[in-house]
Amino acid sequence: MNSQVSAGESPRAVDLIRKKRDGGELTRAEIEALVRGAASGEIHDYQMSAWLMAAVLRGLSRAETAALTDAMLASGAKLDLREFAAPKVDKHSTGGVGDKTSLVVAPVAAAGGLVVPMISGRGLGHTGGTLDKLEAIPGFQTRLSLPRFREVLAACGCSMIGATAEIAPADKQLYALRDVTATVESPFLICASIMSKKAAEGIDALVLDVKAGSGAFMKTEEDAAFLAELLVETGARMGIKTTALMTDMDQPLGRRVGNSLEVEEALEVLHGEGPEDLRELCRELTAWMFQLGGRTRDLEEAKQLYEDLIGSGAALEKFRNMIALQGGNPAVVDRPGLLPQAKSAAEVASPQSGVVSAVHCEAVGTACSLLGGGRQRKEDSVDPAVGILLHKKLGDHVAAGESLCTIFYNDESRVTQAGEMLRQSFSIQNQDPAPRSLVRRVIPAR
């Protein structure tokens, strides 16, 4: 039976948890009280975690999702960036393994004349986070004051920071809880988390990379499409021109997983090199940013602009500039060896010959987290140096005993478990996997 929470009173946390647990629909006022209570500390982490779990299991209605997104946005400031004449456009991913595209698309888009005020997240569940990657760069500050954020934007057109006490504080808090309480996998919570942050940026347009597959939070095409539609609809409601690309996450993107390793691979792409799948996705996402920002007539022109900005070195120069402005060591751009390096490495050998027919991508992300690349508790710090270098991807032939991947680690006690997890995450058979496209579907702005 649903408990009744009367209007006018400040509802008790336990009643809001019970109401959601029993499948009830919270009112806008109740959701606002929940977010306010979490921010003020009146509602404790353990109570909020219980409510989040109830929300994952019971789901949220459209009205609850809208109320949660709005309340999370209202927990902090909303930027007014009208002083910048250029279109303000951002890109955000729903979370993947080896997904370092933000490190590439932000500087390319800025080099192409857009303003990119990017508020990113840390690792979430088995997926990596842009902030943890950026913090692998020695000295790089992701905690900027809002005046400094504006200064960096004015100086180089892009800045990448995390949610703070000033901007999107509710997401900062809920995100950290969801990471360690198995409460990420809800399209409604993902929508509120992403869209509250993005609306706080004061952007005109947004490109969303909605991942589908074994390494995504939405494992099936159907679930990913539901999330993509919800995000595009929410963007329209909030006055942000939002397009979603549903993209493949049935294997890690690129070949490197882990914070330093992923910065290194993003740098390869900015240098005009790097793995083809990563290059293709960076090109697609940035092209959509140029299109939504009105910089180009069509997608072909937008893709050409992307190639030109990589080829001329302009995008790399933007990244170097942004690193320096945010306190990091810009020399890493040409000398990635300056990034933190793990002390030891171990190979994961294939138990048999054949073709890689499937990769359990979530297990690859979890193995990286176990090595220290992610958090087990919210106060944990991450080890930027650890990670995985994949030698084999879907469709590759492998001989028995050949290395499937290399593990980079610092803590000996974790390597056996991570190695076993990685070995089991590769399916080796005698037939080629079905051909797949990286961009599965585009859900256009409404």
- Among residues 190 and 292, whose Cβ is nearest to ligand URA? 190
- Among positions 47, 94, 101, 183, the unique one binding ligand URA when judged by CB under 6 A: 94
Among 20, 122, 126, 178, the one annotated catalytic: 178
Q: Which residue is nearest to ligand URA (CB)?
A: 193
Query: Does 249 help bind ligand URA (rule: CB under 6 A)?
Result: no
- Among residues 156 and 231, whose Cβ is nearest to ligand URA? 231
Taking the complex as a whole, how short is the minimal distance between the CB of residue 123 and ligand URA, in angstroms? 10
Which listed range, 3-11, 185-193, 247-255, 335-343, lies at the site for ligand URA (CB under 6 A)? 185-193
Taking the complex as a whole, how short is the minimal distance between the CB of residue 194 and ligand URA, in angstroms? 5
Among 92, 256, 295, 440, the one annotated catalytic: 92
Residues 102-121 that bind ligand URA (CB under 6 A): 121
Taking the complex as a whole, how short is the minimal distance between the CB of residue 129 and ligand URA, in angstroms? 8
For the question of residue 171 being annotated catalytic, the response is yes
Site size toward ligand URA, by CB under 6 A: 10
Residues 119-148 that bind ligand URA (CB under 6 A): 121, 124
Dihedral class, residue 378 (left if φ above 0, else alpha if ψ from -120 to 50, else beta) = alpha
Query: Does 95 help bind ligand URA (rule: CB under 6 A)?
Result: yes
Query: Does 193 help bind ligand URA (rule: CB under 6 A)?
Result: yes
- Among residues 94 and 214, whose Cβ is nearest to ligand URA? 94
Which listed range, 18-26, 191-199, 298-306, 429-437, lies at the site for ligand URA (CB under 6 A)? 191-199
For the question of residue 197 being annotated catalytic, the response is yes
Give the integer Cα–Cα distance in Å for 191 and 199: 12
Taking the complex as a whole, how short is the minimal distance between the CB of residue 350 and ligand URA, in angstroms? 32
Going by C-alpha positions, the residue among 227, 243, 300, 163 that lies closest to residue 445 is 243
Among 90, 99, 132, 171, the one annotated catalytic: 171
Among 193, 214, 260, 369, the one annotated catalytic: 193
Among 197, 211, 241, 303, the one annotated catalytic: 197
Which listed range, 12-20, 182-190, 253-261, 328-336, lies at the site for ligand URA (CB under 6 A)? 182-190
Taking the complex as a whole, how short is the minimal distance between the CB of residue 31 and ligand URA, in angstroms? 17
For the question of residue 178 being annotated catalytic, the response is yes
The residues annotated with a catalytic role in the active site are 92, 171, 178, 193, 197
Binding interface with ligand URA (CB under 6 A):
94-95, 121, 124, 184, 189-190, 193-194, 197
